[in-house]
Chains A and B, each alone.
Chain A
Amino acid sequence: MEGEVISAVGILWRSLLLGAIIVLVVITGFAYTTLYERKVLARLQHRVGPNRAGYIPIPRQGQPERRLLGGFMQPAADAVKLFFKEDITPSYVDSNIYTLAPMISVFTAVMSLAVIPWAGPINLFGLELPYVAIAPGLNIGVLFILAVTSLEVYGIVLAGWASNSKYAIMGGIRSTAQMISYELSMGLTLLVPVMIAGSLSLNDIVLAQGERGWFVFLQPLAAIVFFIGALAELQRAPFDLLEAEQELSSGYNVEYAGMRFAMFFMAEYMNMIIFSAIWVTLFWGGYRGPFIDQFPLLGVLYIFLKIAGALFLMIWVRASTPRLRYDQLMNFGWKVLLPLALVNMLVTAVFLVLAEGL
């Protein structure tokens, strides 16, 4: 009886410690994702990107000094700027919900971090972990992610509604419609790795990919549909209708200023990281890579590289594609993506049943 209590406390401590580390890492990661996006987007457009805030000067004779790592302090500069900006609350807003909305956004973003496996089994301060995640005991990771990412829309739609402004509410409503449409096809493709692995746990899906090869090779269509769905869910180009600058100036966050605005930004970029993490976990082998069985902590490096690759793909798509019109968005979601996801799931299910029968 006593032993159980101790282990329960131990599990709590472990989760808190791991949670603190992972959330801090992802928040730093968010800051550097903004820099990564600005830099990569700049290079895709023949620009240099931010390179003034923080660099390592290397003097050269007779020439201007060479500057390495230009811009690596840019996120800090941005954060300081946003912190010291005036926090404006317009007089016509519903102030409680107006305050709550950015918090919901960040909260849901952080919450989905709980189930993502970052590395293989390790021994952390005398506690055996089956794999590195904040909540390794949660064996319904995929379901949890579906639930939490659906909550994400509340932050946006409440922000739009509470702002009491036409652009904000248009942005909020657009995002709701878009998220409902694309979540369907995304959810259906999420089921494909679940069916193949036979488990809702993300770690089991990763392990199954260790046995059968990455699911992106088995299910390329599902991987692509999930990626497109994720782009729509994240409201990134070409699905960034809710913040269509030309039409809505900025969408749901138009009435926000200072750190509250930054919180929406934070939620957006953390969701980018999280969706990339889910995508690579489901389809690109997650934390698995060469020598992972000998050195489980290498998984952190592998998933980091894979997330960086997925983020690059998102930025690359943003640099290459124009924004869809609203009817095109709905047509594409309901008439192309959803049938594709459905057929893909059904065919996979039939194949799996046939394979079991053999």
Chain B
Amino acid sequence: MLDHITAIAQGMAVTLKHFFLPPVTYQYPEIKRPVRYRFKGRHELKRYDNGLEKCIGCALCAAACPADAIFVEASENSDDKRFSPGERYASTYEINMLRCIFCGFCEDACPTEAIVLEHNYELSFTDRAGAIYTKEMLIVPVPEKGQPTPQVVESGQFNRSIPDMEDPK
């Protein structure tokens, strides 16, 4: 009987002690907990330093996607209207976020490191159409020294799809 009472008293003491400790809650929308460096959040389509898109529209990401979430449609580049190095660029790039499982296979498949799963996890939408993220939503803004696409460039400058350019991390 007595040890029952002491056990209850011990338990109550523990809970009371915790009453005076600060809560562990993060006040989420105001205070965001930083994610890990390798966290897989929303995709981003990267650009080179000069503003050209890294994506060449090869659709390897779509092929690698186990959830069939990615749709890529490629079009021809020309030196007057150049979006990316090489022959082609992605004129349509859509990811269906209802399907995406954030496995990161697209990242692995990409030959130009154009698609990266970044740290944004606040992906909410109110209808199914809103779940389809278009190229405009996914592509990163043009870097400071770069030009927006399409660019007018000198002939023969960007013939290779995977050029010898600095990786603009």
Which residues of B lie under 8 Å from residue A46 when comparing CB positions? Answer: 18, 21, 23-25
Q: How far is the CA of A117 from the CA of B43 in the complex (A)?
A: 66
Contacts between the two chains (Cβ within 8 Å), count = 36
Which residues of B lie under 8 Å from residue A45 when comparing CB positions? Answer: 18
Q: How far is the CA of A45 from the CA of B15 in the complex (A)?
A: 8
B18 engages A44 (CB within 8 Å): yes
Q: How far is the CA of A289 from the CA of B31 in the complex (A)?
A: 45
Asked if A43 is at the interface of the complex by the 8 Å CB criterion, the answer is yes
- Checking B15, B16, B25 against A47 with a beta-carbon cut-off of 8 angstroms, the contacting residue is B25
Which residues of B lie under 8 Å from residue A317 when comparing CB positions? Answer: 12
Which residues of B lie under 8 Å from residue A47 when comparing CB positions? Answer: 23-25
CB distance from B12 to the nearest CB of A (A): 5
Asked if A61 is at the interface of the complex by the 8 Å CB criterion, the answer is no
How many B residues face the partner with a CB closer than 8 A?
A: 15
A64 engages B31 (CB within 8 Å): yes
A47-B23, A316-B12 known; A64+B18 contact, CB < 8 A? no
A46-B21, A48-B23 known; A316+B15 contact, CB < 8 A? yes
Which residues of B lie under 8 Å from residue A44 when comparing CB positions? Answer: 15-16, 18-19
Closest to A319 in B: B15
Q: Which residues of A line the B interface, CB within 8 A?
A: 40, 42-48, 51, 64, 316-317, 319-321
- 7 further interface pairs, Cβ-Cβ under 8 Å (given A320-B8, A320-B14): A40-B19, A43-B23, A46-B21, A46-B23, A47-B25, A48-B27, A321-B8
28 contacts between A and B (CB under 8 A): A40-B19, A42-B23, A44-B15, A44-B16, A44-B18, A44-B19, A46-B18, A46-B21, A46-B24, A47-B25, A48-B23, A48-B25, A48-B27, A51-B27, A64-B30, A64-B31, A316-B12, A316-B15, A316-B16, A317-B12, A319-B15, A320-B8, A320-B11, A320-B12, A320-B14, A320-B15, A321-B8, A321-B11
